Amino acid sequence: MKATGFLLVIYGLLIFSCQTQNEIEKLVPEDIMIGIYEEIKTPFKYGIVLKHPDTTKLVDSPTIFRAGNKWFMSYIVFDGKGYETWLAECENLLDWHTKEKLLSFTEDTWDANQKAGYMALVDIEWGGKYEVGTYDGKYWMSYLGGASEGYEKGILGVGMANSGSLGKSGIWTRLPKPVLLPGDDDARWFENDKIYKSSIIYDHEQLTGYPFVMYYNAKGDTANYESIGMAVSNDMKQWQRLGSGPVITRQKGICGDAQIAKIGEVYVMFYFGAFWKSGAFDRFACSYDLVNWTDWQGDDLIAPSKDYDRKYAHKPWVIKWNGIVYHFYNAVGSDGRVIALATSIDLKAGKK
């Protein structure tokens, strides 16, 4: 071998070694993952905390946040025609009461019959205040939007809405056009059929180079499964995809409905899995940079075990308050589709 060829081989090996080392450094070690699991696990199922009085209507996708001395939950209702977004309030995280509608049906718009909203910019600090941040003097919400009637029919994309207040605003103001669609020129292979739930955080450190980071699950026209991808923004209105592929996928079934929390130096993504093994269940992954995620390989955080969640126990929103972990999730079973709660301690035992 000539000297030049030998040097090229050595250089290539060094580059490969550096790339491999960088990939290893981005992984979250197993002992850290186990420690996170021990911190966030919620083995005690409290039961149903919110259901629609009309059992033919489906309640779904809780987002929990705090304003003043009250807790609020944005959630969605499917009535057979499509999604609308509602707000409930509570003082103790247990006894929820519906307050008002935030997003409703409209006529002759791109999102006429689908407006499934998810509160944006909620404080991600574990055990923090869980208040909602603002940008440009407004509160923001992303939503799954579409014109077709039915359960997630037709073209589905991401819309944005905003309001000047929380809990007193009524119907929110929507941007006239979607911010992400599966038919966009820059749509990737795993998202060019449908885009579903989105979740937006305010990254003050700008680890991606942008202050606003969106995670969303989507399905491709040649990949008949849902994966979680990323997009970023400087202004909550213009969004661009990040990376060439999904950040979480099993290449079958569903990975979706991401929620981000920060525990120490570790970012935790709560999400649900479905159909890559039996049923639907809640999982988590961890990251140091919001881009590269180490998927938990251990037990589910939540899985079907009660009559009210015997079919599905999924779609998490997890917080820690006064030393107790509260894991809100969508339960499907004997009571239809409802919002249920599991906790890190047995709250029912404390009531005896």
What CATH code is carried by the domain that includes residue 107? Answer: 2.115.10.20
Q: Are the C-beta atoms of residues 94 and 49 closer than 8 Å to each other?
A: yes
Identify whether 21 is part of a domain. no
Specify if 219 maps to a domain.
yes
For residue 223, what pLDDT is reported? 82
Give the separation between CA 102 and CA 93, rounded to whole angstroms.
Answer: 20
Residue 255 inside a domain? The answer is yes
What residue spans of the chain are helical by DSSP H?
3-26, 30-40, 347-350
Is position 314 within any domain?
Answer: yes
d(CA 103, CA 24): 44
Can you give the pLDDT at residue 16? 40
- Angstrom CA distances, 238 to 33, 128, 216, 251, stand at 34, 29, 16, 29
Name residues of the chain where pLDDT drops below 70. 1-25, 167-169, 350-352
pLDDT at position 24, please? 57
Q: How many separate domains does the chain show?
A: 1
Asked if 303 contacts 71 with a C-beta cutoff of 8 angstroms, the reply is no
The verdict on residue 181 lying in a domain is yes
Q: Any idea which residue has 């409209």 for tokens?
A: 106
Shortest CA distance to 228 belongs to which of 220, 237, 238, 218?
A: 218
Considering the domain boundaries, does residue 277 fall inside one? yes
Say what the pLDDT of residue 169 is: 65
Q: Residue 317: count other Cβ atoms within 10 Å of its Cβ.
A: 28
The neighbour count for residue 338, using CB atoms within 10 Å, is 23
Domain extent for 91: 30-350
- Nearest Cα residue to 26 out of 244, 266, 258: 266
What pLDDT is stored for residue 55 in this prediction? 81
> Per the domain annotation, does 273 fall within a domain?
yes
Q: Decide if 8 is inside a domain.
A: no
271 within 8 A of 286, measured Cβ to Cβ: no
